[in-house]
Amino acid sequence: MYRTQLLCIITAVLTLSACSNHVKVSGDYPAPLIAPLPVSAGLVLDGDFTSYIYQEDVEDRWGRSIELGESQSQLLRTVLPSVFSGYTEKNTLPAFPARNAQLWLHPSIQELQYATPRETRLKLFEVWIKYGIKAYDSEGQLLADWIVTAYGKTPSAFMKSEEDALNAALVVALRDLGANLTLQTRHVPEIKDWLQGIQTGDSL
């Protein structure tokens, strides 16, 4: 009787672990150490972004569904208040003119790819994410529309589940997105020109 129960439990555990195909990304993100830009920013986090779930089309691939929306929103909510002097958030583009922020950023996710050790023969999980960012001024004029890429990898450590390893790679990729936004936004040519215009205007 005892042996039968044990066998059932082992079979159930093996079956469930083989079917685990969903990863909900979870991580903590630090605020960046940087002098903020002297402008206020509004972040538009729409429903497509905050509840984004990646669905893999190839049926026999491991990791069919990746729930990224909440974690990528959390990253932007942590990073952007340190990059700009003022910060506000909306879930849709505001009715312009929108004077409560000088610059409105509207991110969207364009592509996500991942690779597992069994596909690459490397002892690594890798993730690539492509984001599109649109920037508007307070009058609603499109200032810039640029691509930001994020890359993360992590070793598939012994005894670590594949879900944990893929989650770790995704967290590294989101940290990379945060680093990119923190350091590169001010160097996007259109944003740089616009910032110079703002500063010139302030000094007049």
Give me the residues that bind another protein (CB under 8 A), please: 3-4, 7, 10, 30-35, 122-124, 151, 153-155, 157, 172, 175-176, 178-180, 182-183
The nearest distance, CB 146 to another protein, in angstroms, is 17
Closest CB to another protein among residues 90, 175: 175
For residue 198 the two structure tokens come to: 């703002």
Residue 204 C-beta-side C-alpha neighbours within 13 Å: 6
Closest CB to another protein among residues 31, 53: 31
Closest CB to another protein among residues 53, 122: 122
Hey, how many other C-beta atoms are within 10 angstroms of the C-beta on 88?
Answer: 16
The nearest distance, CB 121 to another protein, in angstroms, is 10
Closest CB to another protein among residues 92, 161: 161
The nearest distance, CB 179 to another protein, in angstroms, is 3
The nearest distance, CB 64 to another protein, in angstroms, is 25
For residues 28 and 80, give the distance between their C-alpha atoms in angstroms, rounded to a whole number. Answer: 15
Q: Kind of pairing, strands 22-24 and 65-67?
A: parallel
Query: DSSP character for 203?
Result: H
The side-by-side arrangement of strands in the sheet containing 103-115 is 84-90, 37-44, 103-115, 124-137, 142-155
